[in-house]
């Protein structure tokens, strides 16, 4: 009897130790390379641009362009998923909610932003996309066709966001030379 209690106590302590010291699995680990790449771009952007308001405005316009295109693409994804057989109502509703949130987000991009705030906005936009895509993919519950469509959509959006930052950076570099 005492041996069973000792084994149970050791097992409980071991489980607690593993849970406390173990690294939690993050569903967005797949996005880490993109986040790192964007952070490298935005930090270089800050070094090159500094507080030049002309280029800060160019970056803000680039972000607004991205958000407008993103809204259009998300609307297309939502309509595509709505029309597909086998797509759960949960996925359809989650896509509509995401679309509504992006509409609100697009209206709240400030006209007066420093380069640092724009960089933070670009980085938070990437995190927002990856988190929502991950959640939407989870809700697809193994529907490979929907999951593939979500991944393709996400990759396209991440590429477009990176291109916006690169575009502003190259315009500044070209004009500076």
Check residue 35 and give its pLDDT. Answer: 83
In the block, tokens 């929502």 appear at: 132
- In the block, tokens 């993919």 appear at 137
Cα dihedral 100, 101, 106, 107 in deg (nearest 10):
80
Q: What is the mean pLDDT of residues 47-51?
A: 66
Q: Domains for the chain: give ranges and CATH numbers.
A: 30-176 (1.20.120)
Q: Is 3 exposed, middle or buried (0-12, 13-18, 19+ CB in 10 A)?
A: exposed
The answer to whether the CB of 126 falls within 8 A of the CB of 34 is yes
144: pLDDT strictly greater than 60: yes
**7 pLDDT higher than 70:** no
Determine which helix (DSSP H) or strand (DSSP E) holds 84, and give its type and residue range: none
CA atoms within 13 A on the CB side of 9: 6
**How far, in Å, CA of 40 to CA of 49, rounded?**
14
Q: What is the pLDDT of residue 77?
A: 92
């Amino acid at each position: 009897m005492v041996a069973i209690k000792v084994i149970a106590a050791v097992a409980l302590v071991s489980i607690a130790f593993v849970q406390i010291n173990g690294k939690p699995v993050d569903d967005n680990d797949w996005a880490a390379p993109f986040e790192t790449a964007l952070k490298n771009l935005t930090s270089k952007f800050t070094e090159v641009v500094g507080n030049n308001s002309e280029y800060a405005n160019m970056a803000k316009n680039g972000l607004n362009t991205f958000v407008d295109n993103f809204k259009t693409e998300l609307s297309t994804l939502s309509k595509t998923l709505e029309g597909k057989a086998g797509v759960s109502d949960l996925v359809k509703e989650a896509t509509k909610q995401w679309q509504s949130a992006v509409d609100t987000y697009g209206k709240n991009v400030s006209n007066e932003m420093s380069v640092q705030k724009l960089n933070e906005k670009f980085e938070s936009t990437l995190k927002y996309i990856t988190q929502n895509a991950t959640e939407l993919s989870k809700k697809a519950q193994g529907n490979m066709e929907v999951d593939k469509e979500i991944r393709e959509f996400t990759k396209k959006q991440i590429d477009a966001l990176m291109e916006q930052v690169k575009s502003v950076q190259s315009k500044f570099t070209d004009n500076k030379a």
